[in-house]
Amino acid sequence: MRGLVETRTEQQSDQQPEQQHYTHRQILEILSGLMIAMLTSMISMSVVGTALPTIVGELGGQDQYSWVATASMLTMTVSTPLWGKLSDLYGRKLLFQISMAIFVLSSIAAGLSQDMGQLIAARAVQGLGVGGLGALAQVILADIVPPRERGRYSGYMGAVFGISTVAGPLIGGFIVDTDWLGWRWCFYVCVPFALVSFVVIQKVLRIPRIRRDASIDIWGAFTITASASALMLLLSFGGHEFEWNSPWTYILGAVTVVMLLLAVLAERRAKEPILPPRLFGNRTFVLTSLASLFVGVALFGAMIFLPQYLQIVKGMSPTASGLMTLPMVIAMFLSGVISGKVVTSTGRWKLFPVVGLVLVAVALYLLSRLQVDSSPWLIGLDVGILGVGLGLTMQMLILAAQNGSELRDLAATTSGVSFFRSLGGAVGVAAFGAILTNRLKDELLSRLPAGAGGGAANLQLGSPEAIQRLPEPIRGVILESFTRALETVFLVGVPIAVLGFLAVLFLKELPLRGR
């Protein structure tokens, strides 16, 4: 045992001088490669949304419509913890390049798909690559930059998420509307940028690989993946593909619980666990994971349903609704960069997520007050406040988790926090979707005349364009009902943001390490 400890100490001491040789310019070069990879991979997740009606029209398979989006989200979420542990065993750079190769090949396969089955399979594999790129980019940044200096760079990483959320639908709409491109370029367009990132990382990233004999936690990987997959399927399809009170709900719920219990047993016994049990004894990891979960619920819930308000209620095109979220992206970028620089100069970080989550709660409340006739300026102000809150929060939670973990748990901690944020996103989309559907139905039943559209209960709303063409007063009633339903969705997000605020409030502000 003493020899093993000495060997690891020597390895770490050998590694640290290499890390200290990175200049500011070299870090920026590496960061550019990481950001290109994250941006292209995240865009690939959202670019398909505006193209789906066209894809289904050509390939058929309307009953498999939702699987195109869900397959990649599922594999991205469940694979995130696995990439972190594998990078501990086989090296960050190698695993990052493998995830990049998986992403590129699956993107090409998705573009070449001849039926919905092939497309769904390619999207599932694509999600694996996206999960690796997202998790490992954060880990690599943590490897080459000490926590005290990391703030000045992490703001750029946080802005990537917001930019991709807006850019994806915009790019998808442009590609589908361009005759000489077609929907298949929604998948091809990311490939050249991914290859550029691969070349940049290959050229500038030099992280020494620590060789050690270790076994892969196969049983842990299986049980964690099975548990998360069952939960994701339950949240994604409950209330849509099957009723909440149905055998499928109970089966998937039981699988989730059983596999979770087996995962706990597997991780306690594994020699190299994917999610080491000691992490859950780390107060910082637990609280940042909880806060990330709540942030994911609020963020994804707002970003999925805000475009519906803009397109259905305000009558905007998909492109215009995407442009209306630009204030959020700009605010997220500026607040992330500025707060990161302040953290680097002062070493104090806790104030930012505390204030950030307060702003998130305030922004969600303001969004719940939107009316049918709300002005674009008011909408822009509300989403701008949301962007400031998210910019102050998202990367700071990862920084706090990394700083509070042992160096041996750096990758597991980073991928674990990212996993809980993605899981929160799935919970938010499912829960808010159910709330919106039920509240909209109640509002229509109470407002529409019994004979309108064949009865309020049987009314099919159709596309945003179809709703705008409806005669008055039916159109006005539907727009008002949708606005009231969205009011409930955003109001539910407020206490969720408050829970995230409380989790951050109980965090202990540990001094940022300088090494």
Share of the chain above pLDDT 70, in %: 81
pLDDT for res 258: 93
Share of the chain above pLDDT 90, in %: 11
- pLDDT class of 155 with cuts at 50, 70, 90: low
Residue 307 pLDDT > 50 = yes
Residue 2 domain flag: no
Residue 239 pLDDT > 50 = yes
Summary count for the chain: helices (H), strands (E):
19, 0
- Report d(CA 176, CA 337) in Å as an integer: 34
- Report d(CA 422, CA 348) in Å as an integer: 27
For the chain, the average pLDDT equals 78
- Report d(CA 478, CA 468) in Å as an integer: 10
Peptide bond into 473 cis (omega under 30): yes
Among 173-177, 264-268, 333-337, where is mean pLDDT lowest? Answer: 173-177
Residue among 451, 341, 457 nearest 396 (CA)? 341
- Report d(CA 328, CA 163) in Å as an integer: 9
pLDDT for res 234: 83
Residues 381 and 505 in one domain: yes
pLDDT for res 405: 80
Among 97-101, 181-185, 254-258, where is mean pLDDT lowest? Answer: 181-185
46-104, pLDDT tens digit by residue? 777 666 667 766 776 655 656 776 778 778 877 887 887 788 777 888 888 899 999 99
Residues 240 and 256 in one domain: yes
Residues 231 and 340 in one domain: no
pLDDT for res 456: 45
Pick the more confident residue, 92 or 178. 92
Please report, as a single letter, which amino acid is at residue 437. Answer: T
310-350, pLDDT tens digit by residue? 878 888 776 677 778 788 888 888 888 888 888 888 878 88
- pLDDT class of 1 with cuts at 50, 70, 90: very low
Pick the more confident residue, 11 or 423. 423
pLDDT for res 499: 93
Residues 163 and 304 in one domain: no
pTM of the model: 0.76
Residues 252 and 291 in one domain: no
Residues 433 and 513 in one domain: yes
Residue 201 domain flag: yes
Q: What is the mean pLDDT of residues 364-370?
A: 91
Residue 10 pLDDT > 50 = no
Residue 454 pLDDT > 60 = no
Pick the more confident residue, 15 or 151. 151
Residues 382 and 400 in one domain: yes
- H or E segment at 303? helix 283-308
Residue 6 domain flag: no
Residue 1 domain flag: no
- Report d(CA 146, CA 83) in Å as an integer: 22
Residue 478 domain flag: yes
pLDDT for res 245: 83
pLDDT for res 363: 93
pLDDT for res 85: 77
Q: Using alpha carbons only, what angle is made at residue 406 by residues 403 and 409, rounded to the nearest 5 degrees? A: 105
Residue 18 pLDDT > 60 = no
Q: What is the mean pLDDT of residues 166-194?
A: 78
pLDDT for res 357: 94
Which residues have C-beta within 8 Å of that of residue 419, sequence separation ≥ 6?
A: 77, 80, 81, 135, 228
Residues 91 and 225 in one domain: no
CATH (domain of 351): 1.20.1250.20
Residue 451 pLDDT > 70 = no
Residues 198 and 262 in one domain: no
Instruction: Look up the domain containing 71 and give its range.
Output: 13-207
Asked if 50 and 199 touch (Cβ cutoff 8 Å), the reply is no
Residues 197 and 153 in one domain: yes
Residues 446 and 365 in one domain: yes
Q: What is the mean pLDDT of residues 273-277?
A: 80
pLDDT for res 498: 93
pLDDT for res 366: 93
- Report d(CA 48, CA 61) in Å as an integer: 16
The tally of domains found in the chain comes to: 3
Residues 253 and 378 in one domain: no
pLDDT for res 15: 41
Residue 139 domain flag: yes
pLDDT for res 513: 64
Domain boundary among 207, 240, 258: 207
Residue 453 domain flag: yes
pLDDT for res 7: 40
Residue 8 domain flag: no
